[in-house]
């Protein structure tokens, strides 16, 4: 297994505690965990694209970065408005 895939595997494993934190803690904590999970996922997909030799996955990483930003921004706006 190459360094790219080892790194991607570690990053995917790091998503598990972030997902648990987002699901079980307060909405504010969940939003912070969601924001970091977006970054972790983007890097993981980029490393997979190189490790697997499939360059189209690089496009997916770029789209994921944009979608993660827009999604987190939307959640933050909704959270700021209150219940």
Contacting positions for another protein (CB under 8 A)? 3-4, 7, 10-11, 14, 17-18, 21, 26-29, 31-33, 35-36, 39-40, 42-43, 46-47, 49-50, 55, 58-59, 61-62, 65-66, 69, 72-73, 76-77, 79-83
Taking the complex as a whole, how short is the minimal distance between the CB of residue 63 and another protein, in angstroms?
10
All residues at 6 or more sequence positions from 59 whose CB lies less than 8 Å from its CB, including other chains: none
- Look at the block and give the residue holding tokens 């998503």: 15
CB 73, min distance to another protein, A:
6
**CA 51 centroid distance within chain:** 18
Tokens at residue 52, please?
């697997």
């Amino acid at each position: 297994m190459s360094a790219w895939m080892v790194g991607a595997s570690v990053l995917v494993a790091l998503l598990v505690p972030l997902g648990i934190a987002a699901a079980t803690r307060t909405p504010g904590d969940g939003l912070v965990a969601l924001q970091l999970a977006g970054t972790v996922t983007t890097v993981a997909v980029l490393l997979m694209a190189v490790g697997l030799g499939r360059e189209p996955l690089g496009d997916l990483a770029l789209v994921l970065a944009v979608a993660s930003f827009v999604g987190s921004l939307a959640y933050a706006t909704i959270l700021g408005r209150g219940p």
